[in-house]
Structure 1
């Protein structure tokens, strides 16, 4: 802002062109229920160079998409379960924030938010109260998810 140059003007022009040609794009918002649902996934060691995983999740309020994230994980996961657990923990933190935000609008839900995951070992581990020695490297995420399942948040 204080020292613009030719490159900045070029980038501004490019941004304005993009906005002009994408005005008709958007997310549809339809009348539906006020129930939260979140879908989470991760690709284990998906980056061929660093072998870091990519996490992603999206949250719907009824039929309307209200939150989404795709992000490369900061450290290398030692298993697909660890990678998926990191994605689920991030999705759970987002769900808790959204639940508080929705509560501020005086919208209450008696049911916990459904959190969908496609990894069967993660699902089994999340419902298992006995912590296994083989999964000690994901203990914090495991405890975080178990607590929120027991609290009926998710």
Structure 2
């Protein structure tokens, strides 16, 4: 983004032509609020072959879905709390990056971004890092 080349501009033009030609496809963009909001979830040990969890998070800017991510976690989680906490960590990293990107696009985020998680234990660990006496194995997140 700091030193665009001719190739970058050609790629951008190609993308814009594609968007123009397919504007009746895909997700609509509705004008309105520009605040970010993220939802995260994990499906603990859902893969029956290797017992790895599935992580997913979705970020909205106002009513518009702008980013989504679904992937099998790299390690086997020992509990649903660990799987949810790893999902929450990944969603937080993505949200921070999106906040920086929106600032560069002059869409300042004036209030903190809300990240929703449905696991009370994972939320408690995220709110109070000293709380995790039994979770040293996920301390890196």
TM category, shorter? 0.7 to 0.9
| TM-score in terms of structure 2 length | 0.79
Q: Write the mapping of 1:115-154 to structure 2, written as runs, cut at 5 A.
A: 115-141=115-141
- Structure 2: state its 5+ residue gaps: 1-21
TM-score of the aligned structures, taking structure 1 as reference length = 0.73
Q: 1:128 Cα deviation (Å)?
A: 2.1
Unaligned runs of 5+ in 1: 1-21, 142-154
Separation in structure 2 between the aligned mates of residue 45 and residue 112 of structure 1, nearest angstrom: 32
Q: Which runs of structure 1 show a deviation greater than 4 angstroms over 4 or more consecutive aligned residues? A: none
Q: How far off its partner does 1:78 sit?
A: 0.8
Distance in 2 separating the partners of 1:117 and 1:110: 22
Find the structure with the greater CA-based Rg.
Answer: 1
How far apart in 2 are the matches of 1:48 and 1:88?
Answer: 23
Which whole-Å CA distance do the structure 2 matches of 1:83 and 1:66 have between them?
Answer: 24
Q: How far did residue 25 of structure 1 move?
A: 3.6
Identify, as 1 or 2, the structure richer in helix. 1
Partner of 1:79: 79
Q: Please, what is the CA RMSD of the aligned residues?
A: 1.6
Q: Where does 1:98-117 land on structure 2 (aligned, <5 Å)? A: 98-117=98-117
Q: Output the CA distance in 1 between the equivalents of 2:25 and 2:47.
A: 30
Matched residue of 1:65: which SS?
Answer: strand
